[in-house]
């Protein structure tokens, strides 16, 4: 099985440190937006793809979900998830964790989910149409898929500086010169190489439509009405970091 970059010690440690920060992109943008899109979860069966340390799963159970499954490629993430869920007093019989790439979602025994979510992970997936077909098989009729991923204007970057800057080194414009070139992006975080995949907005939306989902809502959060974060996340005032799509299975 392919090894997760999150299982590289330095990558994992830095990621956990980042997640402890109460004003990370995850806390300020991803979680509030994702949670605002959720339907009523009372008594519902939920699956979270790329669940990481299980924060979303805990929230779904707190909202009344009857059963929550988390799937992640990283063993480290799942060990942390187990510890965090136990610490939060979550009844682990209502929860199951799988160490598996989401590309092999068809191998888990559970199905008929009312909701499948994924936060900040689909940009790691090479074959998006294939993943969507697998997801559809695991959803109950009228079940929902809600996901966030890095926004295509973020995944577009290929090389060089992301920003045009002025003489005072102030960010002037975000470069999109590789937007039309879809496919693999070789990236680095703390000198650790990893791969993501760029798809244009049209490719993502059309893949979702062609897989048999009806799009209910698309969100590109921009920190509007969150002035308290404007200094911290200066560059997000005119550039959405994440794309959210809420769908229902037809």
Ligand X SMILES: C[S@@+](CC[C@H](N)C(=O)[O-])C[C@H]1O[C@@H](n2cnc3c(N)ncnc32)[C@H](O)[C@@H]1O
Q: For residue 55, state whether it binds ligand X (rule: CB under 6 A).
A: yes
User: Of the listed pieces 120-128, 174-182, 196-204, 240-248, which binds ligand X according to CB under 6 A?
Assistant: 120-128
Q: Are 164 and 172 in contact (CB under 8 A)?
A: yes
Residue 100 CB, shortest distance to ligand X, in Å, is: 7
User: Of the listed pieces 97-105, 165-173, 207-215, 231-239, which binds ligand X according to CB under 6 A?
Assistant: 97-105
Residue 26 CB, shortest distance to ligand X, in Å, is: 6
Q: Which of 81, 101, 157, 185 binds ligand X (CB under 6 A)?
A: 101
Q: Which is nearer to ligand X, 30 or 114 (CB)?
A: 30
Comparing every residue's Cβ against ligand X, the nearest one is 52
Residue 171 CB, shortest distance to ligand X, in Å, is: 23
Give me the residues paired with residue 67 across strands: 45
Residue 177 CB, shortest distance to ligand X, in Å, is: 26
Residue 126 CB, shortest distance to ligand X, in Å, is: 9
Q: Which is nearer to ligand X, 105 or 156 (CB)?
A: 105
Q: Which of 77, 90, 116, 211 binds ligand X (CB under 6 A)?
A: 77
Q: Number of residues interacting with ligand X: please give it, by CB under 6 A.
A: 22
Contacts of 18 (CB under 8 A, 6+ apart): 24, 26
Q: Which is nearer to ligand X, 15 or 213 (CB)?
A: 15
Q: For residue 57, state whether it binds ligand X (rule: CB under 6 A).
A: no
DSSP characters over the chain: -PPPGGGSHHHHHHHHHHHH-TTSHIIIIIHHHHHHT----TT-EEEEET-TTSHHHHHHHHTT-SEEEEEES-HHHHHHHHHHHHHTT--GGGEEEEES-GGGGGGSS---EEEEEE-S-GGG-S-HHHHHHHHHHHEEEEEEEEEEEE-HHHHT--SS-SEEE-TT--EEEE--TTTT--EEEEEEETTEEEEEEE--HHHHHHHHHHTTEEEEEEE----TT-GGGTTTTGGGSSS-SEEEEEEEE-
Q: For residue 150, state whether it binds ligand X (rule: CB under 6 A).
A: no
The residues of the shown chain that bind ligand X, judged by CB under 6 A, are: 4, 6, 26, 30, 50-52, 55-56, 71-74, 77, 101-103, 119-121, 124-125
């Amino acid at each position: 099985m392919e090894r997760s970059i999150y299982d590289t010690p330095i990558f994992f440690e830095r990621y956990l440190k980042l997640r402890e920060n109460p004003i990370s992109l995850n806390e300020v943008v991803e979680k509030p937006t994702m949670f605002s899109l959720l339907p009523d979860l009372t008594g519902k069966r939920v699956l979270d793809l790329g669940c990481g340390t299980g924060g979303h799963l805990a929230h779904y159970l707190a909202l009344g979900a009857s059963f929550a499954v988390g799937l992640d490629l990283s063993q480290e993430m799942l060990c942390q998830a187990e510890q965090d869920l136990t610490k939060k007093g979550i009844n682990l019989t209502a929860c199951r964790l799988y160490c598996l790439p989401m590309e092999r979602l068809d191998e888990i025994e559970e199905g008929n989910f009312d909701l499948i979510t994924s936060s900040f992970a689909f940009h790691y997936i090479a074959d998006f149409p294939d993943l969507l077909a697998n997801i559809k098989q695991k959803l109950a009729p009228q079940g929902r898929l809600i996901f966030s991923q890095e926004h295509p204007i973020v995944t577009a970057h290929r090389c060089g500086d992301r920003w045009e800057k002025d003489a005072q080194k102030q960010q002037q414009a975000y470069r999109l010169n590789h937007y039309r070139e879809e496919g693999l992006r070789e990236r680095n975080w703390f000198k650790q190489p990893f791969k993501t995949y760029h798809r244009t907005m049209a490719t993502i939306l059309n893949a979702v439509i062609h897989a048999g989902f009806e799009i209910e809502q698309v969100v590109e959060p921009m920190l509007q009405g969150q002035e308290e974060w404007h200094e911290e996340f200066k560059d997000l005032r005119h550039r959405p970091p994440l794309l959210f799509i809420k769908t229902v299975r037809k």
